[in-house]
Amino acid sequence: MSKISFRKRIQITKRGFAYLNRYCPGLPQGKALSALISSVQPLLSIWLSARIINELTGAKRPDALTFYVGLVLLVNVISSLLKSLIDKVTDQKEAQMWIFFEKVFSDKQMTMDYADLESAEIQHQHKKAYENLFMFGNGLAQLVWGTAGLVNASVSIIVSIAMTITLFTQKTDYKWMDSPLWIMGILLVIVGGGICNQKLTMVEQRIFRKWCEGTVWFNRSFMFFGRELYMNLDRAKDVRIYRQYDTADREHEKMRIHNKDDNGLILKMSLLPSVTGLAVGMGNVACYLYVVLKSFFGAFGVGNIVQYVGALSRLGEGIQELMFILGDNEVYCTHLQDLFNYLDIPNKKYEGTLPVEKRAFCVGGDNNYEIEFRNVSFCYPGAEKCALQNVSMKFKIGRKLAVVGMNGSGKTTFIKLLCRLYDPDEGEILLNGIDIKKYDYDEYMSIFSVVFQDYRLFAFSLAQNVAAGVDYHKEKVEHCLRQAGFGKKLSEMKDGIETALYKDFNRDGAPVSGGEAQKIALARALYKNAPMVVLDEPTAALDPVAEAEIYERFNEIIGDKTAIYISHRLSSCKFCDEIAVFHEGAIIQQGSHKELLAEESGKYAELWNAQAQYYA
């Protein structure tokens, strides 16, 4: 692990605080203010206690004693009330801190190029940054916790020095007791304890990093076998049928063995604080002896012993804590740098600025959007073979195109390129004769309604799922659901389109079957009312008859819009004007259903006959 310069650490720390202020506003400030009160209050109490003791052993003036005692009570009451209020607010923010840290990652992923989301290298980078933050508590969380320590150390050092100046300026009758060498000796003892603490802390952190590296597998394994395997209801049937809890038990045994192997490292980490405590204790003893000797030789009263011993102890603790924070800062800056390296991954996709003409939304709009693939090739990163090779075709406006082929033939990749989730490695895709890269991305996407084969519904209301947003038009939602064949199920729902789906947020949420979910996804595509509709095997959970009915209904609903259908069931594509047959990343046949069946030795006829035998 490379060492980070102090200047770089300052930059990383400042940026970390900027993220805290953005995602957890008020949390670092609350921690700092609470620490300020916690560090000032005891020092002030020590100073006042010294005044009271001196008064009791001296003049015993009632008015002075009353004043000091009242001030002590006032300081403690006010500081306790303020700290209680601040801590209550801060604790609530800290309890929500991890949720906001999740949003740091989700915000990045929402704005990241889709190609990077699927990159194995970037997924590993994300995993590393995520584990550092959530499993080992390093990075932003450590910055939150370190804020209180930094304030406490700084205040303790500054105020303690102010409170101990008179210790060295007050004279005795013995010159050797007033020698400046005592100042140097006391400071050497205190600073030496701090340096010892810092050095041992760095050793402990190196051992901790080594322990963390060996714990990555443990944490991932625990999260899956100790939580995910049992908590995820999608796995529940397989867990029981295939007795996967037996596998989990074996993994748990491996974890126990792993824990035994780590005992040596854990023991080393636990011994180091003991050594540090011994060094600090010896320093405190030296300071205490010096203060007592100076009081014995008449430099000051008994009450000042309380002040100087307390202040020197706090000074030592402050220096030790500051040393610890500086050492700890180097560790969590390393983890923060990993986080920032991930967050700084640039979006490489070129986004143009040309507006897309809203032809479909104009009065008398003709949906005149023409798409052309021109010599397009594309390879997934790290793949040995291209997913698409030299694909050329033009979508005829208002026509229905079916895209068919075996698994892995390039059909879904074709759609990803069309939607600019990826950009071609070679060739270009044109919209009305202009490269789609030159258009504003959001405007370009506005002309598509897409239902992917791995579509997702959300635990929101039925209406919000269809509208894909919080606001929606009630009559339009209901109309689209009925068009998609969901009308019967809708009439059975107690709350209609306001019915919550699933039980994530609502215990009365309605579960939906795979076929019902697909109809809702189709209704969502209809609701958008885009001039070009893409259906990427969205009816896989439906039986062949229901699928044929959906497609036939869609053929009527879509009207003059351009539509692209991808399906493994060729019988559902007969109504399309044109069919493109993909094979090994290339278009090998193109024509109508009747024309392609006439080519008896062609791939389409082979696929058709292979399926037709099951429906004969």
Q: 84-93, 162-171, 184-193: which has the minimum mean pLDDT?
A: 184-193
Give the chain's mean pLDDT. Answer: 81
Q: What pLDDT is recorded for position 362? A: 41
Average pLDDT (332-354) is 88
Q: Which two tokens stand for residue 387?
A: 């997913």
Instruction: List, for residues 275-288, the tens digit of each pLDDT value.
Output: 666 666 676 777 77
pLDDT higher than 50, residue 240: yes
Domain 359-457+520-612, CATH among 3.40.50.300, 3.20.20.60, 3.40.50.10310, 3.20.20.70: 3.40.50.300
Q: What pLDDT is recorded for position 367? A: 58
3-state secondary structure of 365: coil
Q: 172-176, 285-289, 543-547: which has the minimum mean pLDDT?
A: 543-547
Q: Among all chains, which residue has been given the structure tokens 């001039």? A: 531
Q: How confident is the model at residue 364 (pLDDT cuts 50, 70, 90)?
A: very low
- The amino acid at 397: I
Q: What pLDDT is recorded for position 349? A: 83
pLDDT higher than 50, residue 360: no
Residues contacting residue 253 through CB under 8 Å, at least 6 positions apart: none
The rounded distance, in Å, linking the Cα atoms of 257 and 280 is: 36
Q: 14-18, 269-273, 499-503: which has the minimum mean pLDDT?
A: 269-273
Average pLDDT (287-312) is 82
Q: 193-197, 342-346, 563-567: which has the minimum mean pLDDT?
A: 193-197
Of the candidates 445, 611, 457, the one whose C-alpha atom is nearest the C-alpha of residue 522 is 457
3-state secondary structure of 337: helix
Listed as own residue / partner, the contacts of 272-278 with beta carbons closer than 8 Å and 24 or more positions apart are 272/200, 272/201, 272/203, 272/204, 272/207, 273/200, 273/204, 275/200, 276/196, 276/197, 276/200, 276/201, 276/320
Average pLDDT (50-67) is 88
The rounded distance, in Å, linking the Cα atoms of 420 and 426 is: 14
374 vs 177: which has the higher pLDDT:
374
Rounded percentage of the chain residues whose pLDDT exceeds 70 = 79
Average pLDDT (396-411) is 87
Residue 244: burial class (beta carbons within 10 Å; 0-12, 13-18, 19+): middle
3-state secondary structure of 187: helix
The rounded distance, in Å, linking the Cα atoms of 517 and 455 is: 9
Residue 321: burial class (beta carbons within 10 Å; 0-12, 13-18, 19+): buried
Q: 279-293, 375-389, 408-422, 578-592: which has the minimum mean pLDDT?
A: 279-293
The rounded distance, in Å, linking the Cα atoms of 94 and 16 is: 16
| DSSP string of 7-70, one letter each residue | HHHHHHHHHHHHHHHHHSTTHHHHHHHHHHHHHHHHHHHHHHHHHHHHHHTTT--HHHHHHHHH
Domain with CATH 3.40.50.300 in the chain: 359-457+520-612
Give 536's strand partners: 566
Q: What pLDDT is recorded for position 544? A: 66
Backbone angles phi, psi at 470, to 5 degrees: -75, -40
Q: What pLDDT is recorded for position 374? A: 95
Contact yes or no for 47/75 (Cβ under 8 A) = no
Of the segments 62-76, 322-336, 532-546, which one has the largest average pLDDT value?
62-76
Domain with CATH 1.20.1560.10 in the chain: 6-343
Of the candidates 388, 355, 436, the one whose C-alpha atom is nearest the C-alpha of residue 588 is 388
431: left (phi over 0), alpha (psi -120 to 50) or beta: beta
Q: What pLDDT is recorded for position 90? A: 92
Q: How confident is the model at residue 363 (pLDDT cuts 50, 70, 90)?
A: very low
Average pLDDT (399-424) is 90
3-state secondary structure of 470: coil
Contact yes or no for 388/377 (Cβ under 8 A) = yes
pLDDT higher than 90, residue 340: yes
Q: 131-140, 431-440, 527-536: which has the minimum mean pLDDT?
A: 131-140
Q: 70-74, 87-91, 109-113, 236-240: which has the minimum mean pLDDT?
A: 236-240
Q: What pLDDT is recorded for position 164? A: 85
Give 563's strand partners: 400, 533
Q: Which two tokens stand for residue 357?
A: 């003409």
Q: 103-112, 454-463, 476-485, 533-542: which has the minimum mean pLDDT?
A: 533-542
Q: At what angle do helices 263-296 and 302-343 cross, to 10 degrees?
A: 150
pLDDT higher than 90, residue 16: yes
pLDDT higher than 80, residue 127: yes
Q: What pLDDT is recorded for position 18? A: 94
Beta-sheet pairing, 562-566 with 426-431: unpaired
Q: What pLDDT is recorded for position 361? A: 41
Instruction: List, for residues 440-486, the tens digit of each pLDDT value.
Output: 998 898 889 888 877 888 888 999 999 988 889 999 999 999 988 88
Q: End-to-end CA distance of the chain: give it in Å, rounded.
A: 67
Residue 375 DSSP symbol: E
pLDDT higher than 50, residue 241: yes
Q: What pLDDT is recorded for position 95? A: 87
Listed as own residue / partner, the contacts of 27-32 with beta carbons closer than 8 Å and 24 or more positions apart are 27/90, 27/93, 27/94, 27/97, 27/144, 28/143, 28/144, 28/147, 30/86, 30/87, 30/89, 30/90, 30/93, 31/90, 31/144, 31/145, 31/147, 31/148, 31/151, 32/147, 32/148, 32/151
Q: What pLDDT is recorded for position 74? A: 92
Q: How confident is the model at residue 376 (pLDDT cuts 50, 70, 90)?
A: very high
Contact yes or no for 465/505 (Cβ under 8 A) = no
Residues contacting residue 111 through CB under 8 Å, at least 6 positions apart: 347
Q: What pLDDT is recorded for position 587? A: 94
How many CA within 13 A on the CB side of residue 538? 27
Q: Among all chains, which residue has been given the structure tokens 């809203």? A: 358
Residue 301: burial class (beta carbons within 10 Å; 0-12, 13-18, 19+): middle
Q: What pLDDT is recorded for position 251? A: 56
Q: How confident is the model at residue 19 (pLDDT cuts 50, 70, 90)?
A: very high
Average pLDDT (324-334) is 82
The domain defined by 6-343 folds into ABC transporter transmembrane region fold (1.20.1560)
367: left (phi over 0), alpha (psi -120 to 50) or beta: left
Contact yes or no for 478/497 (Cβ under 8 A) = yes
How many CA within 13 A on the CB side of residue 426? 11
Q: What pLDDT is recorded for position 204? A: 65
Q: What pLDDT is recorded for position 225? A: 59
Q: Among all chains, which residue has been given the structure tokens 């920032």? A: 340
Rounded percentage of the chain residues whose pLDDT exceeds 90 = 26
Q: What 3 state SS string does 202-268 have?
A: HHHHHHHHHHHHHHHHHHHHHHHHHHHHHHCHHHHHHHHHCCHHHHHHHHHHHHHHHHHHCHHHHHH
pLDDT higher than 80, residue 304: yes
pLDDT higher than 80, residue 178: no
366 vs 569: which has the higher pLDDT:
569
The rounded distance, in Å, linking the Cα atoms of 284 and 156 is: 15
